[in-house]
Amino acid sequence: MTTPGEVESAVADAHRRGWGLVLAATARVTRDLDLAEECVQEAYAAALVGWPRDGVPRQPIAWLTTTAKRRAMDGVRRERVLRSKLPLLLEPDEVADDEPVGPVGPAGSVEEEAVDVVPDERLRLIFLCCHPALAEDAQLALTLRLVCGVSTSDIARMFLVSESTMAARMTRAKKKISTARIPYRVPAAAELPDRLRSVLAVIHLLFTTGHTAPSGDSLLRTDLVEQALRLARMLRELMPDEREVRGLLALLLVTDARRATRVDAAGRLLRLEEQDRSRWDRSAIAEAHELIVTGLRGGRPGRYILQAAIASLYAEAPAYDQTDWPQIVTLYDELLTVWPSPVVALNRVVAVSMVAGPAQALDELEELEKDGRLDRYQYLPAIKADLLERSGRRDEAATAYRRALELTGNEAERAFLTERLAQLGQE
């Protein structure tokens, strides 16, 4: 007899590992993302009802895929019947000539060719969702939610907006797909480069969400990190000549190389200077270095190559106090020219503090505060608190730590900030 707890655990695990795969397979049947999402949700609900009675299947994700696809085929059949029985309800120009109305076509069809171009289900669906008709933020948010199963609240934290605002954005994006009759069609090989920027951003955001979870008890969500690494490797195989693809894979590898040392045995967050560098994954760092070197050849480097180069300098330093901070500041300056992001500017402030001291870094941070775009970003007050503490301004540092705590949803990070506040004697 399977207990309710075992079923809930199995369904949760299948959701973490398989949501995107189940949705991708179902969407190929429906060619309608809304209907596919509904069918997948129904399949997971059916698991919660059926698995306590029948037991957890040996291949839960396969079971969910089969169940969702069956529901999808039923929905497609109903739609076909409606179209055949009620043709007069449609005006002649309401349905585009190339609108897909059924499941995957026969061998040799356009869909078959697309499968050959992008053979992985999940990566194929990411390319599909990154449609140029949608705003980039909508592409990223919708893909993270639908394909990667990231919660709306966590996506909202990443984009520094409220959950209701993010939910409304995704609703508008899905509505646009429907009203604009954007067909379920994976782009051809010639179209892939036009969508690459958004696909890279999706994989990077997926990794970031796993590297430091926006919410929850654990600092890390290994399932999302490994999913992002897998997607980055597949993208490299698909587009081996794209320098920014190499850069993204290098960035993920060198950042994840520290995974085993980011928290101690009790789950306490460890700062970079506290981590045991002998336990870092040197093979991953070496692979990243090679990707960076080849990616720097042939012209001005892009965003991901530069980020990877910065992360590599941190990783290759023999010790924290031997980090090449001036070179890191130089790379951040270059990065800001190709990607003028306030988050990049904030990260640069940390490097500036190591070169020129906390006073100059605080001056630059105050300019970012005036900008306002990082008002909901917990790392701005956290960095400010550290700089104030290093400057001997303990009361102001305590105020900044409290603000960071208000904005932080991850319990490991909250514990770290609480500990820093306690060290100031101002819990």
**C-alpha distances out from residue 107 to 21, 115, 116, 188, 396, Å:** 22, 11, 11, 16, 67
φ/ψ region of 355 (left if φ > 0, alpha if ψ in -120 to 50, else beta) reads: alpha
Kindly report the backbone phi and psi dihedral angles of residue 375, in degrees, each rounded to the nearest multiple of 5, phi listed first. Answer: -60, -30
Which of 51, 81, 111 is the endpoint of a domain?
81
CB 313 within 8 A of CB 328: yes
- Residue 263 has what DSSP assignment? B
Tell whether 362 is covered by a domain: no
Tell whether 377 is covered by a domain: no
Residue 185 has pLDDT above 60, yes or no: yes
HEC per residue, 386-397: HHHHHCCCHHHH
* Beta-bridge partner residues of 410: 216
Tell whether 195 is covered by a domain: yes
Mean pLDDT score of the chain: 86
Tell whether 27 is covered by a domain: yes
Residue 95 has pLDDT above 80, yes or no: no
Residue 84 has pLDDT above 60, yes or no: no
Residue 372 has pLDDT above 80, yes or no: yes
State whether 75 and 130 are in the same domain. Answer: no
For residue 149, give both structure tokens.
């199963």
Residue 32 has pLDDT above 80, yes or no: no
Distance CA 99, CA 213 (A): 39
What pLDDT score was predicted for residue 374?
A: 95
Per-residue pLDDT band at 80 (split at 50, 70, 90): low
What is the mean pLDDT of the segment spanning 390-402?
Answer: 96
Instruction: Tell me how many domains the chain contains.
Output: 2
* Beta-bridge partner residues of 215: 409
State whether 74 and 129 are in the same domain. Answer: no
Kindly report the backbone phi and psi dihedral angles of residue 120, in degrees, each rounded to the nearest multiple of 5, phi listed first. Answer: -90, 130
CB 151 within 8 A of CB 89: no
What pLDDT score was predicted for residue 96?
A: 35
* Beta-bridge partner residues of 10: none
What is the mean pLDDT of the segment spanning 178-185?
Answer: 68
Which of 81, 99, 133 is the endpoint of a domain?
81
Q: Is the Cα dihedral 49, 52, 53, 55 positive or negative?
A: positive
Tell whether 15 is covered by a domain: yes
Distance CA 121, CA 199 (A): 14
State whether 69 and 141 are in the same domain. Answer: no
Of 20-29, 319-328, 412-421, minimum mean pLDDT range: 20-29
State whether 140 and 202 are in the same domain. Answer: yes
Tell whether 170 is covered by a domain: yes
State whether 65 and 136 are in the same domain. Answer: no
pTM above 0.75, yes or no: yes
State whether 124 and 199 are in the same domain. Answer: yes
DSSP 398-424: HHHHHHHHHH-EEHHHHHHHHHHHHHT
CB 157 within 8 A of CB 409: yes
State whether 127 and 56 are in the same domain. Answer: no
Distance CA 110, CA 117 (A): 11
**C-alpha distances out from residue 298 to 23, 244, 252, 262, 295, Å:** 39, 12, 22, 35, 8
- For residue 12, what are the domain limits? 4-81
Per-residue pLDDT band at 78 (split at 50, 70, 90): low
Q: Is the Cα dihedral 312, 317, 323, 326 positive or negative?
A: negative
Identify the CATH number of the domain in which residue 12 sits. 1.10.1740
What is the mean pLDDT of the segment spanning 72-94?
Answer: 57
Tell whether 42 is covered by a domain: yes
CB 203 within 8 A of CB 154: no
Tell whether 220 is covered by a domain: no
Task: Provide, rounded to the nearest whole percent, the portion of the chain with pLDDT above 90.
Answer: 57
Which of 50, 81, 112 is the endpoint of a domain?
81
